[in-house]
Structures are given as C-alpha cells and as structure tokens.
Structure 1
Amino acid sequence: MERRHFPRTLRLIVLFLRPLLMLVTKRDWQGQERLPSGGYVLAPNHISHLDPFLISHFMVDQGIPPRFLAKDTLMSLPVAGRILRGAEQIPVYRSTSGAAESLRAAIAAVEEGSVVTIYPEGTITRDPAAWPMTGRTGAVRVALATGRPLVPVMQWGPQDVLWPYSKKLRLFPRKTIHVRVGEPIDLSDLDGRELTEELLDTATNRLMDALTAMMSQVRGELPTTPRIDVHTLGRPRTNYRP
C-alpha cells in the first residue's frame, strides 16, 4: 500500500470517527486494487449527507488521506476554517469567473500527488430511487487538466442510514455500506483537445454511466426512469424507500 501523509488534524478526526463508524456500519468494499498510485480524482455518487464520512472511512482504510472540495468562504471561518485548513481540504473559488479557475487548488493538489474526491453530481441525488443523476463537469475538468486518472467509486448503503434530505438516522440494525471501485474512465481520446462544453459533457456522461452500471450490479436491477438532469433540479424528489 502506498504511504501517504496524513496531517495531524486529519489523524485526530480519524482517531475519533473511525471507531464509531466501525461500530454502527458493516462494510462490503471491493475493487480497491484498481486504485492508482500518485495523484488522481476520485468520483463517487452522492446519496446521503453521511457520504463524506463513509467515503472517508473507505479511503482511510486504503491509506488515503480524504481531501474534499470546500467553498473558499468556509476556509475563512474562525473554527470550521481552521479545521478544514488543518485537514488540508481543498478550496473551491466560486467567486471567480471561470470554472477552471475555480478549481485551481484541486488541480494543483492532484498535480502534487494528492487524491481529491469530487462528487460529479455536485449535490445529493434527487432521484426517487436514489439512482445517479447527470453530472457536472468539475471532476472531469480536473482529470483532463492534470492528465491523471478519473476513478469512479459507487456507494450503496448510506441511504439506509440517512435517506437523502432526511433528518432521521437509522443506525440499528447495522447497515452494510457497499463500495465498488471501477476502472479509471478512459479519456485518452479527449487528451489534448479543447475543453469545450460538449467534450466535458461527453466525458462526464461516461463517468455517470459507469457509476450507474456499478450500482445496477449491486442492486440487481436497472433504473426505470430517465436520469435526472442536475441543471434543471426543482424540489427534492426522494420519497422512495427500498
């Protein structure tokens, strides 16, 4: 396993949270051998407010320091900002005019050898059956800008603990958290080309197709409705329960 640096603040967070997660969840993790070395983009689907904790649990057990995107304004807050900076989380500069410029810190982190987790949907799914929606282009932008792998990671199970947009925790009986690591998305035919919206959408669709296919395997079923477009979201549509 590749040895990576865990900042002190992050080590303290792990020391506190990992035993708790071990207590309240069961784990079904597969595909870890597909994780590359060096820097790359990890792109999971988003199905619960608990996702960052559970994906972090998976990452920590693979020896990977969790690094997520956070609004740059959060970094300036007295307490939260200090924790985020100490844990070496990645600011997103939303006040900038260009999408690529807003991701400059994420691009730099990947180029320096970090694993950066970017949720391609940008928000928790609004699909009534919790299937992946269409994606935004941030994860693809960082992967193409750096030339580093874009790795799809599918999770299923967090929604059983805390359903999307719900406030009711269902900790017991313990739920199984399924994680599947897919092969890096093949973007070789897009290397060196101008990053047009059409190209970025093409690459993002490949990523979301991979996540949906992995989820279909775990759930033993296929989506029965069209994929929700993240650009036309209205009110949450998450009344379905398994």
Structure 2
Amino acid sequence: MEPVYTPVIGAALSLFRVMGWKVEVRGAEHIPADGPAVIASNHIGYLDFIFVGYGARDAGRLVRFAAKKEVFDHPVSGPLMRGMKHLPVDRDGDRMAVMREAQRRLGLGQVIGMFPEGTISRSFMPSGAKTGTARMAIEAGVPLIPAAVWGDHRIMTKGRKPNWQRGVHMMVGFGPAVEYDEGADTREVTQRMTEAITDLVTELQRDYPQVPADDEDRWWLPAHLGGTAPTPEEAEAIAREERIARRRARKAAREAEAATAGDRDGTAAVSGDDADPIEPDPVDPETGG
C-alpha cells in the first residue's frame, strides 16, 4: 500500500496535463520488473526526481530517492518525502547512515534513486560523480541502471527563479545496467557509470525537439551546444566556492553555539587558530567514503 506515493503521482500527472508538459520516456525496459536496483541519474534541476520517478513507472516500479535532510525538515515537503519513503541524507551528520538504510531497502527489493554528482550541475552536463552510488550497488550485488533527464531544468533549477512555462517537453532515458564483477573497484565502476549517463544525456540533448525562443533563452543549453550555461570547468569553480561558503557558515554557527555555551558555563569558546580549519572536499561527501 502506498497511501502517499500514489496520490502524489496522481497530482503530478494532473500537473503535467494542466501545464501541457509532454514527458517522453525511453529505455524503461532496462529497469528490472521486480527485485532491487539502483538508478543513477544526472542532476540538472529540482524536479529531476519527479521525472525520473515518472519514467520508472513504465516498468511498474516506484523509486525511493536519496535527498538532503533539509527537504525532509520542510513543513510541506517533509511529510510527503517521508510518506513516499525516500531516504534522508544528513551531510553534517552520519554520512554512512544513508548507505546503511539503502542496503536495508535494497534487501527489501526496493529501487533506490541516486544523483551521483550530489548537487545540481550548473553546466547541465554530468561531472564529478561520487563513488557512493556505485559502492551501494556493488555491495548489495544489484543492477546499477544509468539514467538521464532533460528539459525539466527549464522549469526549476539552481540559481534561477522558477519558470512555470507551459508546453515544455521533458525527456527521460534509461540504459542497460552498468556491468561489474563482485568486489569491483568502485572508482572504475563510477567512471563507467558516468560515461553511460553522459551518453544518455547527449542522446536526449541531440533529440530534444525544442529550441531556445531567443538569445536570452539560451541559458538552458550547455556551452558546447551554443548555450550560455557555464562550462563544466566554470560550473565546478562556482560549486567549489559554494561549498567553501557553506563550510564557513557551518563553522561560524558552531563557534557561535560554543561561545553561547561558554558564556553560560563560564568557559571560553574555541576560536581563531584553535578552531576547526576549512578542509578540502572529502573524496565522497555523499557517503563519507
């Protein structure tokens, strides 16, 4: 029984009809009809999980996505995310918790949806995939299905105001499972997974039936296709600055909390050179690996 997921799907389908959004799905036959699997998709917008999940419906499957804990804490989205049995990822807490929960869910035969990049790509091209998604599939011994979505970033993506535009074409594609052997190297599998996702993205971009309305509308096209989106290198530089800013904000919050606690109990808070430094990115922030 899915008392939340089923009506949410119904609401999404109604929204598609009202907005005149056509969703084209390719390759759903690559998703197992039953049993566990991990779906790994590119990440270009805030609605990706809706459309990748919609595409999996053609295989008769419901996908449980890993998403930031903040989404679960929201008063509106939180109850829906929990009701649909998605997986919260606490980036400031136990980073392996999502892996343990995913393994448990896979043991129950569920399909887990992952965005290996860990954040939306401003270049709209796959890059910088973390190894946690491949590790998840390898450790559970389940199919690792590459996926791609295209078009929904025109509605809602990072750094732009939502644009509830009518008549937008959406495309979702799935490919054959990424091959791997028991005990395979996660980095090699991650590389093959990323290449498969990139091939699917390239295919969807090539066949996408709509074009920008004018020069100002070229923002949603990647730079190599004549769009004004940042190049992958520029997007990575922006993302790194954002990560540093977030770490600084978290560090400042911890220091403020420690100072408040010190004022209450008469002890001095740690600060200056004794405080935690801003460390470089870990190998895999998604899972801590």
TM-score in terms of structure 2 length = 0.66
Task: Report the CA distance shift for 1:230/1:142 in structure 2 as closer, same or farther (over 3 A).
Answer: farther
Q: Are the aligned partners of 2:87 and 2:98 in contact in 1 as well (CA < 8 Å)?
A: no
Deviation track 1:54-75 (CA, whole Å, cap 9, x = no partner) reads 2222233432223111345765
What is the CA RMSD across the aligned residues, in angstroms?
Answer: 2.9
**Stretches of structure 2 lacking an aligned partner (at least 5 in a row):** 208-221, 225-230, 243-289
Partner Cα distance (1:83, 1:35) in 2: 24
Partner Cα distance (2:27, 2:17) in 1: 20
SS at match of 2:147: strand
Residue 183 of structure 1: which of 158, 173, 176 is its match? 176
Question: Aligned residues: percent identity?
Answer: 26
Q: How does 1:135-214 map to 2 (within 5 A)?
A: 135-172=129-166, 174-188=167-181, 191-192=182-183, 199-214=185-200
Name the residue aligned to 2:280.
none
Task: Report the CA distance shift for 1:206/1:170 in structure 2 as closer, same or farther (over 3 A).
Answer: same
How many residues matched?
A: 219
Partner Cα distance (1:211, 1:76) in 2: 30
Residue identity opposite 1:45 in structure 2: N
Q: Are the aligned partners of 2:31 and 2:56 in contact in 1 as well (CA < 8 Å)?
A: no
Name the residue aligned to 1:20.
15
**Stretches of structure 1 lacking an aligned partner (at least 5 in a row):** 1-5, 194-198, 237-242
Residue 29 of structure 2: which of 29, 33, 48 is its match? 33
Name the residue aligned to 1:3.
none
SS at match of 1:140: helix
Task: Report the CA distance shift for 1:131/1:70 in structure 2 as closer, same or farther (over 3 A).
Answer: closer
Deviation of residue 91 (structure 1)?
A: 3.1
Partner Cα distance (1:187, 1:31) in 2: 20
Greater RCO (Cα-Cα under 8 Å, separation 6 or more): 1
Deviation of residue 48 (structure 1)?
A: 0.8
Deviation track 1:136-179 (CA, whole Å, cap 9, x = no partner) reads 1221121011000110011111123334431131422x111111
Deviation of residue 228 (structure 1)?
A: 7.6
Residue 64 of structure 1: which of 45, 49, 61 is its match? 61
Partner Cα distance (2:88, 2:40) in 1: 17
Deviation track 1:67-113 (CA, whole Å, cap 9, x = no partner) reads 111345765777654433322122335422xx545410011101210
Task: Report the CA distance shift for 1:124/1:112 in structure 2 as closer, same or farther (over 3 A).
Answer: same
TM-score in terms of structure 1 length = 0.78
